[in-house]
Amino acid sequence: MQSTYSNTLHQLPQVQEQRNDGMPLDLDWVMAVQANTSAIERRAKTLPGRRSVKKDYQAAWLCKAISLIDLTTLSGDDSEGRVRRLCAKARQPVRADILEQLGMTGLTTGAVCVYHDMVETAVAALDGSGIPVAAVSTGFPAGLSPFHLRIAEIGESVKVGAAEIDIVISRRHVLTGNWQALYDEMKAMREACGDAHVKAILATGELGTLRNVARASLVCMMAGADFIKTSTGKEPVNATLPVTLTMIRAIRDYQERTGIKVGYKPAGGISKAKDALVYLSMMKDELGDRWLQPDLFRFGASSLLGDIERQLEHHVTGAYSASWRHAIG
């Protein structure tokens, strides 16, 4: 099992990717972007049946998925105790005896994602682990607070130790086609993040069309987004396969033109291990193995980890356990 994992999925990059410093807004490129919705949806329907992995290989892919999870709590009743338990789960995402049998000791999640008020607690709880803390910011989830307050919120989260900032764009700029305003907003937020990496949340379920999703993805990358992310997890429709296909093809086009690799984060609605496998296979097919590392791909999830842990226990023991045996905290 150890050799299967190491040889197929766990080859970490030897060099740090250049950050996306962005480029001037190219409206000709933006307006030329189209999205063939029917073709994208047909392709998306075929994805769950295109790749099938079993036994040790499936377990290896699921371990890879764990290493890509932004383990998240974004509830109004979050407390310091809950966040500390979440961080303990990030450090030890699967029971130690299961990981030992898989030969996967030392596995952690990709990051922990919390509201600003919980950043300091999370940073302290993760001290020495190497796991970064991501903070949702800029008036999450609606993004409708005054702009100067959204910028200030980013600075406050960076100041207390957030290494990644998940910002939300103003949907109205996309819906009205005001691409200059979206570019200027994203650029200002990128600058406010300083050395912290910025993930631009598009809230794709509220953008109306896949063409809008594609154009918004491109504009955010031009303005310097290190990641583009589907959703806040609070919209009626969050991550979907057609939206993912649209966004990662925008990432591919941007990389082909600029040479810069931008990350991708689907969030909301991904709760089953089998869904994670579909997303991983799509990333491998569309963008290549390089996008199977946590600096370029994350899952925004919480309940996903519990289902993956159940599948790994089944792989080791041959029996499914109750979900409560794998609680987050």
Token couple for 314: 């089944």
Predicted local confidence at residue 93, as pLDDT: 95
Predicted local confidence at residue 117, as pLDDT: 96
Q: Is residue 105 over pLDDT 90?
A: no
| Of 21, 36, 31, 9, residue with least CA distance to 249 | 36
Per residue in 209-227, pLDDT (tens digit) is 999 999 999 999 999 999 9
Q: Is residue 199 over pLDDT 80?
A: yes
Predicted local confidence at residue 329, as pLDDT: 47
* Average pLDDT estimate for 282-292: 96
Predicted local confidence at residue 325, as pLDDT: 74
Q: Please confirm, yes or no, whether 64 is among the known catalytic residues.
A: no
8-state DSSP, 129? T
Q: Is residue 9 over pLDDT 50?
A: no
Per residue in 127-168, pLDDT (tens digit) is 999 999 999 999 999 999 999 999 999 999 999 999 999 999
Domains of the chain: 22-319 (3.20.20.70)
Predicted local confidence at residue 11, as pLDDT: 46
Q: Is residue 326 over pLDDT 80?
A: no
Which secondary structure element, helix H or strand E, spans residue 138, and what is its range? none
* Average pLDDT estimate for 168-174: 97
Distance CA(267)–CA(269), nearest Å, equals: 7
Ordered strands of the 164-168 beta sheet: 263-265, 227-229, 197-201, 164-168, 133-136, 111-114, 69-72, 299-301
* Average pLDDT estimate for 54-62: 93
* Average pLDDT estimate for 155-184: 98
Per residue in 300-320, pLDDT (tens digit) is 988 899 999 999 999 999 888
Query: Which of 64, 199, 229, 261 is an active site residue?
Result: 229
Q: Please confirm, yes or no, whether 284 is among the known catalytic residues.
A: no
| Least-confidence region, from 2-6, 146-150, 185-189 | 2-6
Query: Which of 89, 187, 261, 265 is an active site residue?
Result: 265
Query: Which of 166, 226, 275, 307 is an active site residue?
Result: 166
Predicted local confidence at residue 16, as pLDDT: 64
Q: Is residue 5 over pLDDT 80?
A: no
Question: In a 10 Å sphere around its CB, with 0-12 CB exposed, 13-18 middle and 19+ buried, how is residue 232 labelled?
Answer: buried
Q: Please confirm, yes or no, whether 89 is among the known catalytic residues.
A: no
pTM of the model: 0.93
Q: Nearest-5° angle of CA 55, CA 328, CA 321? A: 45
Work out the pLDDT band at 10, boundaries 50, 70, 90.
Answer: very low
* Average pLDDT estimate for 190-214: 97
| Of 287, 239, 295, residue with least CA distance to 263 | 295
Q: Is residue 102 over pLDDT 90?
A: yes
Distance CA(236)–CA(205), nearest Å, equals: 7
| Of 136, 73, 31, 94, residue with least CA distance to 302 | 73
Work out the pLDDT band at 13, boundaries 50, 70, 90.
Answer: very low
Per residue in 235-278, pLDDT (tens digit) is 989 999 999 999 999 999 999 999 999 999 999 989 999 999 99
Which secondary structure element, helix H or strand E, spans residue 281, and what is its range? helix 273-286
